[in-house]
């Protein structure tokens, strides 16, 4: 652990669940013990009409982490793109589902603007899976409308977004960058969550890749330190360690440092400088 003692370590996408998981304080304590310093936490999906409820719950969880641990935690307020699809699949009209999501996205922007520890809108985007059925085309088009609407809200709030979408290649990075520019959002504020080793595409189009802390990070660091690291930990006691465990970002960082693949300067860029630039925050550790 000594190698991490005075270094910033940030997990850019880690979920918490007070009811079904270990909960905010326990997750933060495990992360801290492993060497972690900062967590970026998006609210979990509602899977109900109460889209604002998980956002309000996240605010309480952030308060608990601040009061009971030494970890610095920031939140992302968003509407997961699967919510819109679920509304329609459960009988709601496309227009009604779209309006309900817009209402919740407006609430996300309000929360960002009113709370210093909510640093962006996310996760937002479009389904990561192929849509089927006669309405697939209009569902995809409407999902992209909501996607662009989220970007416009972020532009007006001067905050970052985290994208949940299909696996991204050069074409998707270009598309996301153009979507952001179309509403005046700086692509530097656009973070593609859970992407493979896409640092070159990020550099090319201005988007910030958030790479899961496994082998893709080893590949990415050989090219550039312009990326963030994440676990996408789910915090569900019935699915322990999904997607990656709480300790993974500190452990992967330590391994990269010990193997000489990452320098201390690179560590600062990934875990502090890039994070501060994306979210307009300062990280003290």
pLDDT digits (tens, 9 = 90+) for 87-130: 999 999 999 999 999 999 999 999 999 999 999 999 999 999 99
Q: Indicate which CATH number applies to the domain containing 8.
A: 3.20.20.140
Helices 53-68, 94-114: crossing angle, 10 deg rounding: 30
Residue 124 belongs to a domain: yes
Residue 151 belongs to a domain: yes
Task: Give the rounded distance of the alpha carbon of 170 from its chain centre.
Answer: 20
- Residue 75: pLDDT band (50, 70, 90) is very high
Distances from the Cα of 231 to the Cαs of 39, 94, 163, 235, in angstroms? 10, 33, 15, 11
Residue 164 belongs to a domain: yes
Name 140's Cβ contacts closer than 8 Å, sequence gap at least 6: 126, 127, 131
Task: Give the rounded distance of the alpha carbon of 33 from its chain centre.
Answer: 22
Share above pLDDT 90 across residues of the chain, in percent, rounded to a whole number? 94
Phi, then psi, of 239 in degrees rounded to 5: -135, 65
**Residue 120 gets which letter from DSSP?**
E
Domain that holds residue 213: 2-279
Task: Give the rounded distance of the alpha carbon of 279 from its chain centre.
Answer: 11
Average pLDDT of every residue of the chain: 96
- Residue 5: pLDDT band (50, 70, 90) is low
pLDDT per residue over 220-231, tens digit each? Answer: 999 999 999 999
Share above pLDDT 70 across residues of the chain, in percent, rounded to a whole number? 98
Residue 285 belongs to a domain: no
Residue 284 belongs to a domain: no
What is the structure's pLDDT at 200?
A: 97
- Residue 285: pLDDT band (50, 70, 90) is confident
Count: domains in the chain: 1
Residue 97's Cβ-count burial label (10 Å; 0-12, 13-18, 19+) is: buried
Residue 210 belongs to a domain: yes
pLDDT per residue over 176-228, tens digit each? Answer: 999 999 999 999 999 999 998 999 999 999 999 999 999 999 999 999 999 99
Residue 82 belongs to a domain: yes
Residue 257 belongs to a domain: yes
What is the structure's pLDDT at 1?
A: 42
What is the structure's pLDDT at 6?
A: 82
């Amino acid at each position: 652990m000594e190698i991490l003692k005075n270094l910033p370590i940030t997990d850019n996408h880690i979920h918490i669940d007070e009811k079904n998981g270990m909960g905010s304080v326990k997750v933060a304590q495990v992360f801290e013990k492993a060497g972690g310093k900062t967590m970026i936490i998006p609210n979990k999906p509602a899977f109900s009409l109460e889209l604002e409820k998980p956002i309000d719950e996240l605010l309480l969880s952030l308060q608990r982490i601040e009061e009971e641990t030494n970890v610095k935690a920031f939140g992302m307020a968003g509407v997961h793109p699967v919510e819109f699809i679920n509304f329609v699949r459960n009988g709601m009209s496309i227009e009604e589902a779209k309006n309900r999501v817009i209402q919740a996205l407006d609430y996300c922007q309000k929360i960002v603007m009113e709370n210093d520890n909510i640093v962006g809108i996310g996760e937002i985007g479009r389904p990561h899976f192929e849509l089927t059925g006669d309405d697939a085309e209009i569902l995809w088009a409407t999902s992209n409308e909501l996607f662009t609407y989220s970007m416009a809200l972020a532009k007006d709030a001067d905050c970052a977004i985290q994208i949940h979408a299909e696996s991204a290649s050069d074409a998707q990075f270009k598309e996301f960058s153009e979507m952001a520019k179309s509403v005046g959002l700086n692509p530097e504020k656009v973070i593609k969550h859970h992407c493979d080793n896409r640092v070159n595409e990020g550099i090319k189009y201005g988007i910030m890749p958030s790479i899961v802390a496994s082998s893709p990070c080893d590949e990415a660091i050989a090219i550039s330190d312009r990326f963030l690291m994440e676990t996408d930990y789910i915090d569900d006691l019935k699915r322990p360690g999904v997607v990656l465990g709480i300790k993974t970002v500190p452990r992967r960082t330590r391994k990269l440092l010990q193997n000489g693949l990452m320098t201390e300067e690179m560590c600062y860029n990934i875990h502090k400088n890039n994070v501060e630039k994306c979210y307009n925050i300062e990280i003290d550790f």
